[in-house]
Amino acid sequence: MPAGEENAPAAGVDIPEGSVVWAAAAVDSSRRPSHSHHPHSFTMSSRQELISNAVLFLNDPKVQSSPLTQRIEFLQNKGLNEAEIQQALNEAAGGSGSVAPAPAVTSAPVAPPAYARPAPPQYGFGQMYAAPPEPPKRDWRDIFIMAVVSGGVVYGLTALARKYLTPHLKPPSSTAFQETSASLAEQYDAAQAALDDLKAQTEALTASAEEERTRVAAALDDVEAAAKAVRDAEARWRDDMREVRGEVESVRELVPRLIEKHSQAQNAALTELQSELRSLKTLLVARQQAPEASGAASPVPAASATTQAANALLAPRTGKASIPAWQLAAAPSNGTAASAASAASSTAGGSGASSPTKGEKE
């Protein structure tokens, strides 16, 4: 058991000089040699020493005058358990006949061994427990130093609090409040002006966007109208081209027929010319026979009359039949020849008048 606990007085135990007696018993028991150095044996020897000290303590005449409960409580405070206290009481009763039999230890309130610790190791024989040094006593100088240090610390903390915390904890003054209010009002006015400016810009942008949209819509309408006009013109052009293609196809189909009709007309004209030439030949033959019948005809006028008749047949027809000059010249001399020439010219004029009609029909 530690020496400090061995020398400490028991709380609530009114044993005169009990600690001194216990210390004397401890010194007496420590003088006895111990031959065991094993840890377990050392612990057992320590417990035996405690029991021996308790026996010496109980056998002391000064202690025997105190109540038994106080002695038991003192031994419990020294770290002895119930069995060891009972053993010490039995040994003390066996060594001294004047000691009364020990009552049941369990009947007394036993406090837990709060201060029980294993005894420090002992080195050598007869070594005594060293008493712990008493705590130093404080005089007025120590208290004054502590007060000065505490006051300095408190003053420093107070100064720091005044410097750093108090300005933040104090409410603002009226001037600062007015300045803050004025600053906030100016900021609010500036923000309101910025909002008004932004609103005006937004309205201007909206108006310009609306104008642009109107112009774009008008341009789109113009483009759509132009596209529609182009589509209509293209449709008309296609219709015209379709009509032209139809006319070209009709002309292509009509040209062979016109050529065929022209060839037929030429053939008819040649046939008519041949018939006229035959009629002219007949007239010439009749003209040659007419002077022989009358007995008074000149060959020169007959030849000239024949030439004029041929020129009249070969000349272009104007559509109106006329009596040739040779017939007019020969009319007084030969009425028969004149009538024949008149009939021939009438026939030729009718055929010539019919020819333009065919050409016009074609």
| Residue pLDDT, tens place only, 287-297 | 888 766 665 44
Instruction: Compute the Cα dihedral for 288, 290, 296, 297 and give only its sign.
Output: negative
Mean pLDDT along residues 323-329: 57
pLDDT in tens, 220-279: 999 999 999 999 999 999 999 999 988 888 888 888 888 998 899 999 999 999 999 999
Locus of tokens 């040209």 = 255
Q: Which of 345, 358, 339 is nearest to 312 (CA)?
A: 345
The Cα–Cα gap between 52 and 59 comes to: 11
Mean pLDDT along residues 32-52: 61
Degrees, nearest 5: CA angle 113-118-122: 145
Degrees, nearest 5: CA angle 274-276-278: 70
> Does position 340 have pLDDT exceeding 80, yes or no?
no
> Does position 200 have pLDDT exceeding 90, yes or no?
yes
**Residue of higher predicted confidence among 153 and 362:** 153
The Cα–Cα gap between 248 and 306 comes to: 50
Tell me phi and psi for residue 319, to 5 degrees: 100, -15
What is the pLDDT, as a whole number, of residue 107? 39
Answer yes or no: are the C-beta atoms of 273 and 303 closer than 8 Å. Answer: no
Helix (H, G, I), strand (E, B) or coil at 14: coil
What is the pLDDT, as a whole number, of residue 309? 54
Locus of tokens 């006319």 = 247
pLDDT band of 140, cuts 50, 70, 90: confident
What is the pLDDT, as a whole number, of residue 154? 95
* 8-state DSSP, 67: -
The Cα–Cα gap between 296 and 78 comes to: 214
> Does position 9 have pLDDT exceeding 90, yes or no?
no
Cβ burial 60-99 (10 Å sphere, 16+ → b, else e): beebbeeebebbbbbbbbbbbbeebbbbbbebbbeeeeeb
* 8-state DSSP, 131: P
Share of the chain above pLDDT 70, in %: 56
The Cα–Cα gap between 70 and 236 comes to: 141
> Does position 345 have pLDDT exceeding 90, yes or no?
no
What is the pLDDT, as a whole number, of residue 64? 79
What is the pLDDT, as a whole number, of residue 180? 86
> Does position 1 have pLDDT exceeding 70, yes or no?
no
Q: Where are the alpha helices (DSSP H) in 139-173?
A: 140-160, 166-169
The Cα–Cα gap between 338 and 294 comes to: 14
Cβ burial 318-355 (10 Å sphere, 16+ → b, else e): eeebeebebbeebeeebeebbebbeebbeebbebbeeb
The Cα–Cα gap between 218 and 253 comes to: 51
The Cα–Cα gap between 153 and 182 comes to: 43
pLDDT band of 50, cuts 50, 70, 90: confident
What is the pLDDT, as a whole number, of residue 113? 41
pLDDT band of 312, cuts 50, 70, 90: low
> 3-107 adopts what CATH topology?
Arc Repressor Mutant, subunit A (1.10.10)
CA atoms within 13 A on the CB side of 147: 7
Helix (H, G, I), strand (E, B) or coil at 170: coil
pLDDT band of 21, cuts 50, 70, 90: low
**Residue of higher predicted confidence among 2 and 189:** 189
* 8-state DSSP, 12: T
Give the DSSP H or E segment for 356.
helix 335-361
The Cα–Cα gap between 362 and 356 comes to: 10
